[in-house]
Structure formats: structure tokens, C-alpha cells
Amino acid sequence: MDSLAHAKKAARATATTLRLLAHAAARDDAPGKLASYDFPLSAKVGASVVSGFFPYQSEIDTRPLLGRLAGEGWTTALPIVVKLGHPLEFRRWYPGEATVPGKWDIPRPPDTSPLVEPDVLLVPLLAFDRTGFRLGYGGGFYDRTLELLRSKKPVTAIGIGYAAQEVDRVPHDAHDQKLDYVMTEKELIRCG
């Protein structure tokens, strides 16, 4: 294991514990607080499709935010793991619609729901820094997906996490895609 992989593995262990503690303290309030933020203006210009995610383990639930955005006219979607080592696909899904179990039993839209290409991605994370780097679970799904989508058009990536998940510096390399914003239960951060 190289030094970057070792640093990421150690950071994931610490970040998982921090997120569990933050989730225990704020899980009831965090989804509503995220839904109350004004969506970043730069994410709105020309955008019409936003992808969120069903909460996995101790992630913040993005469904209240997706519900608000759907009410404002956005097309909302959820990601689908098609194959390990490949970018995610996205299917249209509105809060309250049926789902089916996906990879790791995470709910996803059924195959009958149309494929869409998001303009804005709400991205789960274990840790983040203010420059826009995030630490995920290590599968590279969002990095591959953002790289692919950004090769076609401007795409805004908004990390979703608890304030306690912020670190000074996330270990990263050239393939790691940066976030444009991070939304926590305490603030909306413009990365850079």
C-alpha cells in the first residue's frame, strides 16, 4: 500500500467515527436545515436536474432537500451503481416515488424510471476540506462520475455532511474531483 492509500485508509477510520458521533447529535435536525438553505446561485444557472442520495449508514438524509427542489421545478434523481469501477448512472426519482433495493441495499429508482444526466450532484462524504476535496468510501464512484460529466458540460458538486466532518486537509491525488460547495447542518461553504 502506497503512502497516499495508507493516509486515506487512516483518515477514513477517523472520519467514520466522527460522522457517527455527529449523526447521533444532529440527525433529527440536519435534513431540515439543509432543506432550508438557498441553493447556490451558480448551481441554478441553466441547471434543471439535481441528483441526491438515500442516506447510507450515518449520512445526512437529502430527501427533504430533494423534495423542496422538486417543488421548485427541478427534476430530481438518484444514483445507481451499475458496476464496480464504473461511473454512476442516474434515474429520475421524485420524493415519495417507489424504489427498489440497489447495491448494498441502498434504495434506487426502478429500471422503468428514465435515465437522466444531472447538472448538480449532492455528494456524500466521510470528510471534507474547504478547498473542495472530499474523502469518500474509496470506491471512486463520484470521482469517476464527476470526471465523466464534467468532460461534457459544467456540473456543480455539492458535498453533504456534518460540520464535524471538516478536516484541515483531505489526502488527495490527481484523479480526485473537487467539490464546489459543502452543505452542513451549520453552514453552506463555497469551496476554493
Rounded Cα distance, 57 and 104, in Å: 11
Contacts of 17 (CB under 8 A, 6+ apart): none
How many CB atoms are closer than 10 A to CB 95? 16
CATH code for the part of the protein at 3-190? 3.40.50.10420
Res. 4 pLDDT band, cuts 50 70 90:
confident
Residue 88's pLDDT is: 97
Residue 39's pLDDT is: 75
Res. 42 pLDDT band, cuts 50 70 90:
low
DSSP 128: E
Per-residue pLDDT tens digits for 81-130: 999 999 999 999 999 999 999 988 999 999 999 999 999 999 999 999 99
Residue 1's pLDDT is: 64
pTM for this entry: 0.92
Per-residue pLDDT tens digits for 117-160: 999 999 999 999 999 999 998 889 999 999 999 999 999 999 99
Residue 41's pLDDT is: 63
The residue type found at 56 is: Y
Extract long-range pairs of 8-17: CB within 8 Å, 24+ residues apart. 8/135, 8/138, 8/171, 9/138, 11/126, 11/127, 11/135, 11/167, 11/170, 11/171, 12/126, 12/127, 12/135, 12/137, 12/138, 14/127, 15/126, 15/127, 15/135, 15/165, 15/167, 16/126
Res. 52 pLDDT band, cuts 50 70 90:
very high
